[in-house]
């Protein structure tokens, strides 16, 4: 099945792209998608998407499926469907917004969360 993943802020930098078009197996869960993406890109992506123990997805991240927050959709076992658009949005308040990624710090300096405009579809 084909679907699209859209990245924001630091995740765009880590992935090197604003969005990916993916072809995944039918019935793939959100968790499987996240693990696929975190293993596809550099180690920094895995570190960014997971808590320190590396076993759980960082709860400060937002995952939207077709614009709906996954916290309203049960959990990461949500089954994805062909044509879905998954957005991965980092928390700007998280320590991870720059911690461990000094090469990205310059992009965050002077940016306030209330002035950021998220674009792209």
pLDDT (tens digit, 9 = 90+) per residue, 80-95? 999 999 998 887 655 5
**55, 62, 77, 100 from 69: Cα distances, Å:** 22, 7, 13, 27
Q: Strand pairing of 2-7 and 85-89?
A: parallel
Is this structure's pTM higher than 0.75?
no
Q: Residue 108 has what pLDDT? A: 43
Mean pLDDT of 31-39: 85
Please report which confidence band the pLDDT of residue 115 belongs to, taking 50, 70 and 90 as the band edges.
very low
Domains along the sequence of the chain with CATH: 2-115 (3.10.20.30)
Whether pLDDT at 4 is above 90: yes
Tell me how far apart the alpha carbons of residues 116 and 114 are, in angstroms, rounded to a whole number: 6
Q: Residue 79 has what pLDDT? A: 92
């Amino acid at each position: 099945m084909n679907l699209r993943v859209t990245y924001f802020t630091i995740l765009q930098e880590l992935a090197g792209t604003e969005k990916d078009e993916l072809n995944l197996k039918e019935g793939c869960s959100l968790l499987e998608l996240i693990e696929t993406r975190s293993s596809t890109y550099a180690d920094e992506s895995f570190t960014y998407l997971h808590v320190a123990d590396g076993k759980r997805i960082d709860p400060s991240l937002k995952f939207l499926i077709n614009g709906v927050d996954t916290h309203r959709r049960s959990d990461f076992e949500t089954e994805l469907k062909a044509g879905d658009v998954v957005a991965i949005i980092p928390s700007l308040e998280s320590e991870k917004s720059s911690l461990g990624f000094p090469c990205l710090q310059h992009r965050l300096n002077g940016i306030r969360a209330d002035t950021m405009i998220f674009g792209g579809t």
